[in-house]
């Protein structure tokens, strides 16, 4: 039972601080703001050059080989500076699937490209008729010589408008149970017959899309894992997704921003920060957050020791997203009337407030967190079945 940092850990922390303070400079920050996905790619390539873009990959594939403590230090220092985490679809999600189930050819081709952020990935799971009941998916892939022909549609596809590749669950067989006959396949977004239809979100932004497949021809060698075993592949991926989803470091940063903002807001002569009611709301969140941080650390430590994440890991997604939303809600309250401000180029001086629109955007986009990656209700079904053993 020990969290004291060793001399090596402290030296590592200095390295991390040094790197981030040098590389995440004003220019980089400006690029991230103004250049959207291109800015993000630029940042990920800087991380790649340092060898730090994939903390969770094995060393043989270009991972860092960091200990649990080092990962924790990295996360803390990153979020402290408000640096966004890497886009997960390639570096976290599909990479893990390829490493676990892919052919040598797939590994050799895709993994280095993912590592260098040469390809932007998106995830084709949900369909207009298949949300939480993912196994009911209908997008069809029919064998035709060395290819599959895909027909159907995927929906809620984040960043499909930027993507070079999409990893999809498709139905290759209709005869058995609905979990059977699903196949995991990689599709080039430039393929003929793919159409991306934007969906404007509740945050008034374009992050989500519908992706249509009309007779899209995909080489059969792009199947990952066995044909018909896509459900097993998807489940393994969900376990990976689950452990990385708590985002404690980012919630901690939100709490710091909340305190700063609440110290500047004044209500009837009293700082919001000194309002006992507001203090209690903050305390209730922070107490859970302090606990969640150690729940995450327990998971990291177990995994670093080569073990499977224990029952504590399964609550990371649920608690993490609940707390994310709780902090987003508090920011909205701090912004008061200004929480309603739509995206605007207006100067904050003229407008009268600084972060109302950001708070609104984060709050609105944040609604998705308890829905994606398996809604929190589905998470509870999974935990009750696989952790508690309830049928």
Partner 1 sequence: MNFDYTEEQQMVRDSIARFVQDDYDWDTRRAIVNSDEGMSRQNWQTFAELGWLSIPFSEADGGFGGNIVDMSVVMEEMGKGLVVEPFFPTVVLFGGVVARAGDEAQRAEILESVIGGETLGAFAYVERQSRFAINDCKTTATANGDGYTLNGEKVVVFNGENADKLVVLARTSGGQFDEDGLSLFLVDADAEGVSKVCYPMMDAQRVANITFDNVQLGAGALLGTEGGALPVVNEVISEALIALASEAVGIMGTLNAKTLEYTKTREQFGVAIGSFQSLQHRMVDTMMAYEQAKSLLFKALCEYKIDPGSAEATIHALKVLIDRNGKLIYGEAIQMHGGMGITDELDIGHYAKRLMMINTTLGDGTFHRSKFIESTYAA
Tell me which residues touch partner 1 (CB under 8 A): 1-4, 67-69, 72, 259, 271, 273-274, 276, 279-280, 282-284, 286-288, 290-295, 297-298, 300-301, 311-312, 315, 318-319, 377, 380-381, 383-384, 387-391
- Cβ neighbours around 253 below 10 Å, total: 19
Cβ closer to partner 1: 154 or 319? 319
Q: What's the closest the beta carbon of residue 77 comes to partner 1, in angstroms?
A: 16
Both tokens of 8, joined, read 């090596």
Between 229 and 319, whose beta carbon lies closer to partner 1?
319
Smallest distance from partner 1 to CB 354, Å: 22
In the block, which residue shows the tokens 């452990």?
A: 243
Of the residues 226, 241, 286, 391, only one is catalytic, namely 241
Provide the CA 170 distance to its chain's centre, in angstroms: 22
Geometric angle at alpha carbon 155, from 176 and 31, rounded to 5°: 135
In the complex, least distance from residue 45 CB atom to partner 1, rounded to whole angstroms: 30
Asked if 216 and 193 count as a contact pair (C-beta separation under 8 A), the reply is yes
Q: Are 209 and 172 in contact (CB under 8 A)?
A: no
Distance in angstroms (rounded) separating the CA atoms of residues 294 and 27: 35
CB nearer to partner 1: pick between 176 and 268: 268
**Bridging pattern class, strands 147-155 and 140-144:** antiparallel
- In the complex, the smallest distance separating the C-beta of residue 380 from partner 1, rounded to whole angstroms, is 4
Cα-trace Rg, the chain: 22
Residue 357 CA to residue 343 CA, distance in Å, equals 6
Q: Between 144 and 284, name the residue whose CB sits nearer to partner 1.
A: 284
Residue 241 annotated as catalytic: yes
Q: Which residues are catalytic?
A: 241
């Amino acid at each position: 039972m020990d969290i004291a940092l060793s001399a090596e850990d402290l030296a590592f922390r200095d390295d991390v601080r040094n790197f981030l303070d040098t590389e995440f400079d004003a220019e980089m920050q400006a690029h991230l703001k103004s250049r959207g996905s291109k800015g993000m790619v630029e940042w990920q390539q800087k991380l790649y050059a340092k060898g730090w873009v994939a903390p969770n990959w094995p060393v043989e594939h270009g991972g860092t080989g960091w200990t649990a403590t080092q990962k924790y230090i990295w996360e803390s220092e990153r979020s402290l500076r408000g640096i966004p985490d890497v886009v997960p679809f390639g570096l976290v999600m599909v990479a893990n699937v390829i490493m676990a189930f892919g052919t040598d050819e797939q590994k050799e081709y895709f993994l280095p490209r993912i590592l260098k952020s040469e390809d932007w990935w998106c995830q084709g799971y949900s369909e207009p008729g298949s949300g939480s009941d993912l196994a009911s998916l209908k997008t069809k892939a029919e064998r035709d010589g060395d290819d599959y022909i895909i027909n159907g549609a995927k929906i809620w596809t984040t960043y499909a408008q930027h993507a070079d590749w999409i990893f999809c669950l498709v139905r290759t067989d209709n005869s058995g149970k609905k979990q059977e006959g699903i196949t995991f396949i990689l599709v080039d977004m430039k393929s003929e017959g793919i159409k991306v239809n934007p969906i404007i979100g509740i945050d008034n932004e374009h992050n989500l899309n519908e992706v249509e497949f009309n007779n899209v021809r995909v080489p059969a060698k792009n199947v990952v894992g066995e044909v018909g075993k896509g459900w097993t592949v998807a489940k393994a991926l969900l376990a990976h997704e689950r452990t990385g989803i708590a985002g404690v470091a980012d919630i901690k940063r939100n709490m710091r921003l909340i305190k700063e903002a609440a110290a500047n807001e004044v209500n009837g002569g009293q700082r919001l920060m000194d309002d006992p009611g507001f203090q209690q709301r903050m305390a209730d969140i922070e107490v859970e957050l302090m606990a969640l941080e150690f729940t995450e650390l327990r998971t990291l430590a177990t995994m670093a020791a080569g073990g499977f994440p224990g029952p504590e890991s399964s609550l990371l997604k649920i608690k993490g997203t609940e707390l994310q939303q709780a902090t987003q809600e508090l920011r909205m309250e701090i912004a008061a009337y200004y929480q309603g401000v739509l995206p605007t180029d207006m100067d904050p001086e003229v407008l009268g407030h600084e972060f109302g629109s950001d708070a609104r955007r984060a709050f609105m986009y944040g609604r998705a967190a308890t829905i994606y990656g398996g809604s929190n209700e589905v998470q509870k079904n999974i935990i009750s079945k696989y952790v508690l053993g309830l049928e």
